[in-house]
Amino acid sequence: MQSGSLDSIASMVRAAKEIVVFSGAGLSADSGIPTFRDGATGLWNKVDPDEVASIEGFLRNPARVWSWLLQLKKLVDERQPNAGHQALARLQASCRGKQLTVITQNIDGYHSRAGNAPVLEVHGTIHRLRCQQRCGFSANWEESAVEPYPCPRCGAPVRPDLVLFGEMLDEEVFAAAEMRSLTADLFFCVGTSFTVQPAALLPVWAKRAGVPVVEINPHPTSLSAVADYSIRSGASEFFTALGAQIEAQQG
Ligand code: NAD
Ligand code: ZN
């Protein structure tokens, strides 16, 4: 990482009033949650995402999708937010008089567990269940719920409250994410490959609205050429260094 970039970015954080951090699976990689497209180990490697993480797959075989997502939930429950999540929570705590909004594609809940708020979970969460028909029923996902069951209110299938491939995003959450992205004065993108739409549009919209965009990813992405700063680094390393740099500037 170039120390000049870090110094400039720390100054931008100090001057900003509204900061957005837009995160993807790469942020949770250091927690041991496999990312989706990194030639992933374990979980994703052995399965076809269209079978286990799509709405068509769920409608075809609810039990299979349920049991695979339950494995993922167990992994998430066993593991912890990492130094990157914690550095972001510290950044928020140190941001007096600023608004720091996390917009995440991750369904692991680690940003909230680390202490960030608000967190806009545009792809939902693996920790909650809801009625497929959206009759209003929702419940925490207890690990004892090992198979799909009918909604106690309307009888439709109960399912994990996350956005499966082939589904629309929650309009209210996405509209809030869009609004925050357009009005921010600094936008971080971390650990995302920009392949899942429409979430991948948020940094593009932010950039078009004149918001400075900083990308943190060990590998180049389609955003790298247009980002104001494209930092080749892991998330934990970057946000830890950024926190230290801000403290150093404040003396
Ligand atoms: P992705 O898997 O498509 O891409 C991950 C990106 O993170 C890659 O560009 C990779 O280079 C980068 N990366 C890897 N290690 C990193 C690190 N240590 N620090 C920073 N960046 C790192 O992820 P995506 O763009 O979020 O899309 C995947 C979809 O699957 C999302 O919709 C997400 O909801 C879901 N998903 C979520 C989780 C989770 O909740 N933890 C895990 C896997 C997949
Ligand atoms: Zn119902």
For CATH 3.40.50.1220, list the domain ranges present in the chain: 1-32+81-123+169-251
Determine the Cα–Cα distance for residues 237 and 241; give it in Å rounded to an integer: 6
Residue 14, number of CB atoms within 10 A of its CB: 14
Q: Which ligand is nearest to the CA of 122?
A: 1
pLDDT-based confidence at residue 52 (cuts at 50, 70, 90) = confident
Task: Give pLDDT tens digits for 85-143.
Answer: 999 999 999 878 899 999 999 999 999 999 999 999 999 999 999 999 999 999 999 99
Q: Which pLDDT belongs to residue 37?
A: 63
- The pLDDT > 90 percentage for the chain reads 85
151 is in an annotated binding site: yes
34 alpha carbon – ligand 1 mean position (Å):
8
Q: Which pLDDT belongs to residue 84?
A: 96
For CATH 3.30.1600.10, list the domain ranges present in the chain: 34-78+125-162
Q: What is the arithmetic mean of pLDDT over 36-53?
A: 68
Residues 181/211, Cβ–Cβ less than 8 Å:
yes
Q: Which pLDDT belongs to residue 41?
A: 55
Taking 80 as the threshold, does the pLDDT of residue 36 lie above it? no
With CA atoms as reference, report the closest residue to 120 among 53, 193, 172, 183: 172
Q: What kind of fold does domain 34-78+125-162 have according to CATH?
A: SIR2/SIRT2 'Small Domain' (3.30.1600)
C-beta 47 within 6 A of ligand 1 = no
pLDDT-based confidence at residue 144 (cuts at 50, 70, 90) = very high
18 alpha carbon – ligand 1 mean position (Å):
24
C-beta 167 within 6 A of ligand 1 = no
- Has 123 been annotated as catalytic? yes
Taking 60 as the threshold, does the pLDDT of residue 42 lie above it? no
C-beta 28 within 6 A of ligand 1 = yes
Determine the Cα–Cα distance for residues 9 and 27; give it in Å rounded to an integer: 19
Q: Which pLDDT belongs to residue 196?
A: 86
Averaged pLDDT score across all residues of the chain: 92
151 alpha carbon – ligand 2 mean position (Å):
5
Determine the Cα–Cα distance for residues 183 and 153; give it in Å rounded to an integer: 40
C-beta 163 within 6 A of ligand 1 = no
The dotted CATH code for 1-32+81-123+169-251 is: 3.40.50.1220
